[in-house]
Chain A
Amino acid sequence: MTNNLPPGHPNFLNSKESRTVTRADLADAVYRVVGLSRAESADMVEAVLGEIASTIVAGEAVKLSSFGSFVIRSKGQRLGRNPKTGVEVKIEPRRVIVFKASNVLKIRINGGAVDGLASED
């Protein structure tokens, strides 16, 4: 594995060995569990992310059990300030995505085991 420190270790996040996981890693994970070709696996990662993205953009919340949920929040217009120049700027009303991690995900990130979900590592 890329990081041998247990999640509770103080240097866990400071470890230089920490890396960035990308679409290619997700495609690889799909390739390992389902009997699809590498190309098809990559296409399916795209299909899953695409479906989640368009659902959110359409304004619908996406709730993925034991992972977390994506909800849309509408922000009203407000006055902001350019932190560098101090000049006031109008911030237009906009929509933002809020990701709320599930308790299962939070527990696992803190090194805990979760009933019914085997931790393979």
Chain B
Amino acid sequence: MIKSELVQRIATRNPHLYQRDVENIVNAILDEITHALTRGDRVELRGFGAFSVKRRDARLGRNPRTGEPVAVDQKSVPFFKTGKEMRERLNDGEF
């Protein structure tokens, strides 16, 4: 499912909203999560999961083709931890 399909599915279930509104709603949610992570904040959505930012220290990497060492700067990476309820829903019942 891609974003436009997500918008369509939600719009179908909420006939009182224009598809355009649903699109704005989905974007507002994703933007808010992105902005929080940009500030270094954690986003905790009970039952769904939590987004956080992890720091990766600078390290000496290697060009896999030439074997040459290259300096890799310190960077931040986004991380998602699945919520408890999601984990249970994924694994109970047949699959």
Residues of chain A at the chain B interface (Cβ within 8 Å): 1-3, 5, 7, 10, 12-13, 15, 18-23, 25-26, 29-30, 32-34, 36, 44-45, 47-49, 51-53, 55-57, 59-68, 70, 72, 74, 94-97, 99, 101, 105-106, 108-111, 119-121
Contact = CB atoms under 8 A, between A and B. Distances in A.
Interface of B: 1-3, 6, 9-10, 13-14, 21-22, 24-49, 51, 53-55, 74-80, 82, 86-87, 89-91, 95
B63 to A, nearest CB: 20
Contact of A64 (B2, B24, B44, B74): B2
A106 B78 contact: yes
A29 B41 contact: no
A45 B25 CA distance: 8
Contacts of B31: 29
A33 B28 contact: yes
